């Protein structure tokens, strides 16, 4: 009987030792389920990480540990965040107020109200000097500081200083910039082609753009050089190198080299067809060439182009037909009701 009791006691001791060994490293207030061989553990107000053998990968020293994702986990000390690897190495020290999600190996970080960008090793790519960094598009991102916008490239280099109220999207190698309600242009390298001085700038076409200021319009080239001073009320689209201009309600024509071929003296200039257009002044019509030459002087009440370079004309209530040089093929002789 005594022998059996001794054997029973020995078995209890052996079982206790075995239990102690099997619970090695599990003396925690709480531990999570294992995921990929790792579990978070909680002890005396701090979190750590163990492996499936009970080995402490990270001793309980963090106030919070998020689950591992792609071999990394976010950790918190007081109110600051860092990142650890699966082997417990502190890749990014807990020095940031916030670490945003990594995308393509980079993440925005926040500290003391400023934002920057780090890579997966914790290296600072963009210094924490901005209030906001917009998502990258085509290798560029808008940045905001001191209530002004600038732009950085994918290396973190500031290609456009933060000095504008607004920066538009790049189009054909140029972006609109705004400051104090005025508009300018920068190129893809951040060079200021046109300082913010205009109310509006059109898209470049054929190397030229219209610029508007105080109700007047002029022309600049892609280098920002003023080709036509902002002295006109309107400049039409350049067609075959020429553009109709309006100044003081009168029409004229600019040449390809931005000279006034036809001064703005006419009440209206119609569309040019085959190098000629109908001009109007003081109730009379004529025909003018796009080199400024007067083909038909102002003598008819109406002129309509027809085909083969000819035109119907109305004179003193009767109409006729003229050729492309103004010669009367049919002298005006019929009644106005038959004129169309």
- Domain ranges within the chain, ordered by starting residue: 29-96, 105-196
List phi, psi (to 5°) of 83: -140, 140
Give residue 336's pLDDT.
53
The pair of three-digit structure tokens given for residue 91, joined into one six-digit string: 């890749």
The pair of three-digit structure tokens given for residue 119, joined into one six-digit string: 């890579």
* 105-196 has the same fold as 29-96: no
DSSP-based three-state secondary structure for 6:
helix
Give residue 93's pLDDT.
95
pTM for the predicted model, two decimal places = 0.74
Q: CA 197, CA 184: separation in Å to the nearest integer?
A: 6
Give the list of residues 6+ apart from residue 226 with CB closer than 8 angstroms, or none: 211, 218, 219, 220
| Per-residue CA distances from 13 to 8, 20, 250, 284 (Å) | 9, 11, 113, 124
Give residue 3's pLDDT.
45
Burial 195-231 (b: 16+ CB within 10 A, else e): ebebeebeebeeebbbbbeeebbbbbebebeeebebe
The residues with which 14 forms a beta bridge, in sequence order, are none
The pLDDT profile of the chain, 340 residues, written as one tens digit per residue, is 444 444 433 333 333 333 333 334 457 999 899 988 999 999 999 999 999 999 999 999 999 999 888 889 999 999 999 999 999 999 999 999 999 989 888 999 999 999 999 999 999 999 999 999 999 998 999 999 999 999 999 999 999 999 999 999 999 899 999 999 999 999 989 999 999 999 999 999 989 999 999 999 999 999 999 999 999 999 998 888 889 999 999 999 999 888 999 999 999 999 998 889 999 999 999 999 999 999 999 999 999 998 888 999 999 989 899 998 889 999 886 555 554 5
Which CATH number does the domain 29-96 belong to among 2.40.10, 3.40.1710, 1.25.10, 3.30.1540? 2.40.10
The pair of three-digit structure tokens given for residue 60, joined into one six-digit string: 């309980």
The CATH number assigned to the domain with range 105-196 reads 2.20.25
Give residue 338's pLDDT.
52
Q: CA 118, CA 100: separation in Å to the nearest integer?
A: 10
Task: Estimate to the nearest angstrom the gap between the alpha carbon of 203 and the chain centroid.
Answer: 15
């Amino acid at each position: 009987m005594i022998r059996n009791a001794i054997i029973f006691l020995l078995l209890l001791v052996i079982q206790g030792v075995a239990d102690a060994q099997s619970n090695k490293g599990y003396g925690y207030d709480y531990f999570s389920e294992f995921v990929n061989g790792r579990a978070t553990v909680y002890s005396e107000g701090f979190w750590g990480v163990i492996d499936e053998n009970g080995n402490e990968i990270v001793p309980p020293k963090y106030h919070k540990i998020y689950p591992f994702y792609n071999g990394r986990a976010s950790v918190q000390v007081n109110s600051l965040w860092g990142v650890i690897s699966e082997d417990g190495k502190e890749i990014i020290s807990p020095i940031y107020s916030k670490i945003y999600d990594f995308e393509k190996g980079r993440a925005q970080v926040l500290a003391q109200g400023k934002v920057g960008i780090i890579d997966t090793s914790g290296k600072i790519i963009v210094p924490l000097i901005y209030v906001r960094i917009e998502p990258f598009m085509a290798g560029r991102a808008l940045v905001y500081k001191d209530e002004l916008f600038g732009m950085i490239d994918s290396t973190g280099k500031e290609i456009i200083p933060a000095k504008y109220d607004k920066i538009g999207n790049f189009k054909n190698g140029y972006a609109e910039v705004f400051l104090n309600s005025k508009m300018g242009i920068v190129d893809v390298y951040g060079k200021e082609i046109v300082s913010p001085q205009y109310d509006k700038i059109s898209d470049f076409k054929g190397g030229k753009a219209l610029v508007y200021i105080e109700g007047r319009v002029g022309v600049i080239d892609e280098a920002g050089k003023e080709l036509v001073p902002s002295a006109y009320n309107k400049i039409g689209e350049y067609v075959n190198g020429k553009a109709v201009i309006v100044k003081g309600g009168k029409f004229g024509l600019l040449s390809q080299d931005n000279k006034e071929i036809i001064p703005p003296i006419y009440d209206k200039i119609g569309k040019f067809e085959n190098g000629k257009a109908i001009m109007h002044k003081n109730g009379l019509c004529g025909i003018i060439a796009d080199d400024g030459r007067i083909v038909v002087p102002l003598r008819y009440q109406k002129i309509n182009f027809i085909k083969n370079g000819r035109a119907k004309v109305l004179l003193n209530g009767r109409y006729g037909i003229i050729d492309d040089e103004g010669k009367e093929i049919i002298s005006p002789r019929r009644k106005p009701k038959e004129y169309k």
